[in-house]
Amino acid sequence: MQVKPRQTNSLRGKRAPRRHAVVVHALADARAALAAGRAARVPVLLVSPPGAAAYLGVGYFWALAEAARAEFPDVACAAVMDCGDAPGYALSALRMGFKAVVLRGNARARARVAAIACELGAQLLARPPHG
Q: Which residues pair with 45 in a beta bridge?
A: 21, 78
More confident position, 55 or 8: 55
Q: Over the stretch 30-67, which tens digit does the pLDDT of each residue have?
A: 999 999 999 999 999 999 999 999 999 999 999 999 99
Q: Over the stretch 96-122, which tens digit does the pLDDT of each residue have?
A: 999 999 999 999 999 999 999 999 999
Q: How many CA atoms lie within 13 A of 17 on its CB side?
A: 11
Mean per-residue pLDDT of the chain: 89
Packing angle, helices 27-40 and 58-71, rounded to 10? 40
Q: What is the pTM of this model?
A: 0.85
- Asked if 43 and 12 touch (Cβ cutoff 8 Å), the reply is no
The residue length of the chain stands at 131
Local structure of 47: helix, strand or coil: strand
Among 3.80.10.10, 3.40.50.880, 1.10.3720.10, 3.20.20.70, what is the CATH number of 20-125?
3.20.20.70
Give the pLDDT band of residue 94 (cuts 50, 70, 90): very high
Provide the 8-state DSSP code for 79: E
